[in-house]
Amino acid sequence: MATLSQSDLDDVLIAAARVGDADTVVRLLNRGADIHSRDDWPLQLAAEKGCVETVTLLLGRGAKLNAFALSGGAASGVREVLAKLLEAGGAKGRVGLATKALGAATEKGHTDIVELLLTHCTDLTAKLDELLERAAIHGRTAIASLLIERGANVNAGQSAALVSAAQNGHVDTVRLLLDCGANQRERDDEVIKAAAFGGMLPTVAFLLQRCAYPASVLAGIRAAASRKKHTEIVAMIDSYRDLQMLAAAKPVDLSAHSQAPSTAPSPTRPSADPCRL
């Protein structure tokens, strides 16, 4: 390599870390590049890349872990990278650091990374509800299920997770939250209105099938969809209300269907004369 200034050495180190070029990183460090350049940016970039070799090298040479590096490792989805960062002392007893990393993994949908962080950091109880809402926003149903198992409250913030999942059209997450006890009765109009306002037709259809809505709530749902010109949802609400009115006007006598069948023989009909067909 030609003679480089300190600034140039640091820039090339950052570029090498960004692509996970461990050999070049070693050469640059040996020539005096600053491993802590720009708040330990090389480690963050290597972690985001998911390069185990470069992350291990930088940690071994004294790179300092920060929230950006740990979040980058979590977002990469590479379990071994995150394990290396955690071994270096990341997140243990540092709730803010762990929460940021958990948020990054949740948004990307890396369930195994979330599980590893929760196992490593046992003092995150106060953050589980917040993380559940984030999982609901992004439709990360498996992660939401894991957070609920770890103690997240499905009704926190007036069922904020349920509203968020409905608003963003994540039917499977809505189903999970309801199955786990999310109290849609307190905010049933809020939940389905959020889905209707966002134009989330499958979510509205699911909620109409799952829950019984009074006429006043249906009117609000229809108005929310109409304001955003979601004509398919408006038509669905109208059909649903028509079916409700029909059911109310013509109740079915189910007792008639529960009687035992008659044992009397059915009268025999004469066979048709094929010549008269």
CATH number, residue 80: 1.25.40.20
Per-position pLDDT tens, the chain of length 277:
468 899 999 999 999 999 999 999 999 999 999 999 999 999 999 999 999 999 999 999 999 999 899 999 999 999 999 999 998 875 555 677 888 899 999 999 999 999 999 988 877 888 999 999 999 999 999 999 999 999 999 999 989 999 999 999 999 999 999 999 998 655 557 899 899 999 999 999 999 998 888 888 899 889 989 999 999 999 999 999 888 877 777 554 545 444 444 444 444 444 444 333 2
Residue 107 lies in a domain: yes
CB atoms under 10 Å from CB of 269, counted, come to 6
Residue 47 lies in a domain: yes
Residue 256 lies in a domain: no
User: Which amino acid appears at position 237 of this protein?
Assistant: I
Residue 131 lies in a domain: no
Residue 71 lies in a domain: yes
Rounded Cα distance between 172 and 109, Å, is 14
Residue 62 lies in a domain: yes
Both tokens of 59, joined, read 């940690």
Rounded Cα distance between 35 and 29, Å, is 7
Percent composition of the chain: helix, strand, coil (DSSP 3-state, to 5): 70, 0, 30
Q: Which residues contact 210 (CB under 8 A, 6 or more apart)?
A: 175, 178
Residue 38 lies in a domain: yes
> 63 is in which domain, residue-wise?
1-120
Both tokens of 39, joined, read 């708040």
Both tokens of 165, joined, read 């999942």
pTM of this structure = 0.81
| Number of structural domains the chain divides into | 1
Q: Are 65 and 39 in contact (CB under 8 A)?
A: no
Residue 181 lies in a domain: no
CB atoms under 10 Å from CB of 142, counted, come to 16
